[in-house]
Amino acid sequence: VIAVVDPGPLASVQDAAGRRGWRRYGVPTGGAADAWSARLANRLVGNDDAAAVVEVTLGGATFETDAPATIALTGGLRLRVAARPVPASQAARVAAGTRIDVDGGDGARGYLAVAGGIRVPIVLDGASTDLRAGFGGHEGRALRAGDVLGLGPPSGMAHRWLGRAPSGPIRVLAGPHPAALPVLAASRWTVDPRADRTGVRLDGPGGVPGAEVDSMGLPLGAIQVPPEGRPIVMLADRPVTGGYAVPGCVIRADIGPVAQLLPGHDLEFAIVDVAAARAAWAVREAELELLEPLDLASDAGWAGAHP
Amino acid sequence: VIVPFGERALLVELRATGAPLALFESLEADPIAGIVEVVPGRSSVLVELDDAADMVAVSASLAARAGGAPPTRRAGRLRTIPVTYGDEYGPDLADVARLTGLTESEVVAAHLATELSVLFCGFAAGFAYLGDLPRPLHVDRLATPRTRTPAGAVALAGPMSGIYPAELPGGWRVIGRTPLRLFDPTRRPPAYLVPGDRVRWERITADEWVARAEDAPDW
């Protein structure tokens, strides 16, 4: 098992895929806000992409296992094992009872994977926690100090990732109300402190012409603009329908970078076409393969057994 | 009109009343290959495609379904929802009466007299948007949303009514509360009310509410 010593401001069990096929009944997709990083965390510890992980928000979280385990942290946070920093994007071996700290970093969310995967009941075909409706994940709620999460049997190899984190503007496709898209792309935006798993709100100098519209289904990354003019990029926990104008939609490849934005971070949008969006996704998929096997037994430097 | 929405989705815009539900029901009864998610909206249907699907071919199939003859719809299942109105069950009933110029009894009578349809879902798992209310019952949302609206709250905003499936923040005006549990992720489908269903209200007393609290209806 892995025990939650301190969940930090918000930690929950999530999976990379979220739920598919239930949005007609109002059930959001959910799942990891930065699903790409959740998949990478699983690959680093030899799990299937679909294994459940812990999504930690902002840092300040501590865990421990009751048996030796292989773990990895991806995304924008930093990992320490037995007080020693673990290099980014590589698996680490922990001994029973070793303190696992997830600290703040240059992004909003970290994905803690454990070899074998976090074991939770599958609800509506998914392991993710629906925090709004209160089901899925661990008891349908955010993790608390003292929670104990079961683990599956480890199967694969540990790895180190050799790629680099993406950078650059956030790429967008035109949405159903594209008139405001040029204004959106011409401005520099700052992330509002209310950014959460539902969406990332943006502040800017001028604002974008927004409007109330008939409620419609929202794909991941839809940029809603309410009448007051400040855009919201909709993420994993977005309601299945929304009633504001949508000038654009963030491409799939750049959802992870948006989910990692911290309050106060700046961002810019760049308009692309569908072919470019698909090419960008193919690049991100290929980057998941940039893995090098890691022999943790011979690498005791931060294995945690000897603090 | 069918417009691409992101890399893998199409938004079918349908202005005619009933057309979104007609297309939704058609896709439920006879799915188009490659579509993995169907989300009805108030005047649209969003469809999401799997990675391998041919967007042009799916778009053509949708155009064939959505165009042509005026939508014909099956009569949806009739769902009767017991409601206790007013007092602590419907804390906004007095305000709704004031805003509409009706008495509280007239608001309740108008609500009870209206058969609504589940137009689409959203906001939270199991939340059904029910419409359309008669114009005299149209009210604005609360200026300051509640941080907690209880599960079962029956509320109004604009042309629509809805039932909070769980305790949630919310800005609709609460006129009553049902004891029924309307969302259960272990059941199939997970929601008692699905798009296309017809909804009628049945007035119950506070004592009956307490007796039926957390009742799970057959579905």
Of A23, A136, A277, the CB nearest to B37: A23
What's the gap in Å between the CA of B103 and the closest CA on chain A?
Answer: 30
Q: What is the mean pLDDT of residues A287-301?
A: 81
CB B159 within 8 A of CB B138: yes
The reported pLDDT for the residue numbered A305 is 46
Residue A52 in tokens:
């459940």
CA distance A217 to chain B (A): 5
Which positions in chain B touch A22 (Cβ < 8 Å)? 125, 190
Lookup: tokens for A73: 């942290």
Phi/psi at A234 (5° precision): -85, 130
Whether residue A278 lies within 8 A of chain B, CB to CB, comes out as yes
- pLDDT, tens only, A42-60: 999 999 999 999 999 999 9
Q: Cβ contacts (< 8 Å) between B122 and chain A: which residues?
A: 26, 215, 239-242
pLDDT at A164 over 70: yes
C-alpha neighbours within 13 Å on the C-beta side of residue A292: 8
- Rounded mean pLDDT of B186-215? 96
pLDDT digits over B78-133, tens only? 999 999 999 999 999 999 999 999 999 999 999 999 999 999 999 999 999 999 99
Across chain A, which distance is largest between two alpha carbons, in Å? Answer: 61
Task: Label residue B179 by pLDDT band (50, 70, 90).
Answer: very high
Mean per-residue pLDDT, A250-258: 98
Phi and psi of B120, rounded to 5°?
-170, 175
At A267, which amino acid appears? L
Q: Is B219 on the interface with A (CB under 8 A)?
A: no
Three-class DSSP category at A112: strand
Can you give the pLDDT at residue B71? Answer: 63
pTM above 0.90, yes or no: yes
Give me the DSSP letters along A10-66. EEEEE-SS---S-GGGT----S-TTHHHHHHHHHHTT--TTSBEEEEESS-EEEEES
